[in-house]
Amino acid sequence: MMNRRQFLKAALAGAIAVGSMGLPTLRASAQTKDIVDVAIGAGSFKTLVAAVQAAGLVETLKGPGPFTVFAPTDEAFAKLPAGTLEELLKPENKQQLIDILTFHVVAGAVKAADVVKLSEVTTVNGAKAKIKVMDGKVMIENANIVTTDIEASNGVIHVIDSVILPPAKPMLPPTGAAMQRLPNIVDTAIGAGNFKTLAAALEAAGLVNTLKTGNWTVFAPTDEAFAKLPAGTVEELLKPENKQQLRDILLYHVARGRLPAAQVVKHSGIGMANGVRTLVKVTDDGVTINGANIVATDIAASNGVIHVIDSVILPPGNIAAVAENAGSFSTLLAAVKAAGLERELIGRGPLTVFAPTDEAFAKLPPGTVEELLKPENKQKLRNILLYHIVRGSNDSSAVAKLKSARTLAGKSLPIMIEDGKVMVGSATVATADVLARNGVIHVIDTVLIP
């Protein structure tokens, strides 16, 4: 991988970079081959050349240009999921292939020295591709630029190590008669062809009729998303005796009402149809819901909208169960039991818990925990624990906006941001936004004493 300095050095020494690929080391003024012929001659772009031919783009890329091509190698195409390339090369998928290939092409000859000055480029596809320097690497979207400034008579080639995919083209929500002509959510998913497992799960859970009527937003996992689950999980969930668990999981992918992508990104979290909240995060790399990438958006149906995700999202347990599964809150859970607060963390809510780890309790003076766990100190222990709990499900974005929060102990907990870290009282939030069925946990490194 190249850091920024190496990238610029390559820009100034294009002949060396070209030579490293086994291409003729010609000066720009002497280069007589166009972009297509240069790629053919290199020998490492056989897949790209085949794709360009299948998409009918050969004459375009042999034209006067100039063009800048961010060219994926054969190894880059080999990273795509099995069968993807074969599917794209089929005549019926020609437009999709054109959309992908033109996302790798920029009008004009943009040399490496200019690329690093940009935050994005507008591709021939019409969509913008992000440029960034991260950890010393120069990237376009998710691909590293590994070789630069390969000259052609009609432009320049920069070599990348991954195929970059254009964003889904936004669809204006249909209205009126057009809306009525659309199939419902279930039939839309079935017609797409890559939601067979989801369709089977909806049938087994008895949710088909529910999602054929009403008004919903569905975050729909693909067949590949379901395939990521541990072996045997889907088969187990489809058994009749597990119908309620399956319903709970599926309804955790469904929100009431129609939420287009433009509205989804305005939420830090969304309450789902099973009554449990999800977490939405927007970063430079895209949008996630509970860690699952939203890979396609705004697929319209007569009774709602579908957003496609690449992983199945599983509803969490209650706060106590999540803490127990984490394995690092044994002291906290023992204290909760001794203080008689299990019901608060199991059934009530929503709550926000600032949860000290076992290491946080170990920082207390020797003998403190043992003393607090004695029955005669139950009220004192309750007051300390309740000082760590706030009503409502306050994710990190909500907490960061607060200067203080009223705890269940009846006392105010100061909140501040210091050196980029969120501080609650004397504790630092080490891990934020651990979701639970009845609230959210923020892990802290110090026990708070009211």
Express each pLDDT in 335-364 by its tens digit.
999 999 988 888 677 999 999 999 999 999
The last residue of one of the domains, among 272, 289, 309, is 309
C-alpha dihedral (183, 186, 191, 196), degrees to nearest 10:
180
Within a domain: residue 386? yes
Residues 214 and 128 in one domain: no
pLDDT for 177 equals: 55
Tell me, yes or no, whether 165 lies in a domain: no
Distance CA 174, CA 250 (A): 26
User: Residue 361's domain is classified under what CATH number?
Assistant: 2.30.180.10
Same domain for 300 and 323, yes or no, is no
Reading the block at residue 284, the tokens are: 């430079």
What is the span of the domain harbouring residue 424? Answer: 319-444
d(CA 190, CA 284): 32
Count of CA atoms in the C-beta half-sphere (13 A) of 199: 14
Residue whose structure tokens are 């080391």: 25
CB atoms within 10 A of CB 68: 25
Confidence of residue 10 (pLDDT cuts 50, 70, 90): very low
* pLDDT > 80? residue 23: no
Strands 292-301 and 286-289: antiparallel
Q: What pLDDT was estimated at residue 168?
A: 64
How many other C-beta atoms are found inside a 10 Å radius of the C-beta of residue 269? 20
Checking 238-243 for CB contacts under 8 A at 24+ apart, the result is 238/200, 238/201, 238/204, 240/204, 243/204, 243/205, 243/206
Each residue of 428-437: pLDDT tens digit? 999 999 999 8
Last residue of a domain, one of 309, 337, 365: 309
User: Using 50, 70 and 90 to split pLDDT, how confident is the model at 174?
Assistant: low
Per-residue pLDDT, 181: 63
- Helices (H), ranges, 82-194: 84-88, 94-102, 112-115, 176-181, 185-192
Q: Global pTM?
A: 0.58
Average confidence (pLDDT) over 114-138: 83
SS3 at position 367? coil
**51: its two tokens:** 């794709």
Q: How far apart are the first and last CA of the chain?
A: 51
Number of domains making up the chain: 3
What is the identity of the amino acid at 401? K
Largest CA distance in the chain: 90
Structure tokens at 403: 């200067």
Q: Which of 390, 403, 407 is nearest to 349 (CA)?
A: 390
98 — pLDDT class (breaks 50, 70, 90): confident
**Residues 143 and 163 sit within 8 Å (Cβ to Cβ):** yes
pLDDT of residue 9: 38
- CA-based Rg of the chain, rounded to a whole angstrom? 27
List pLDDT tens digits, range 263-290: 998 888 899 999 898 999 888 778 999 9
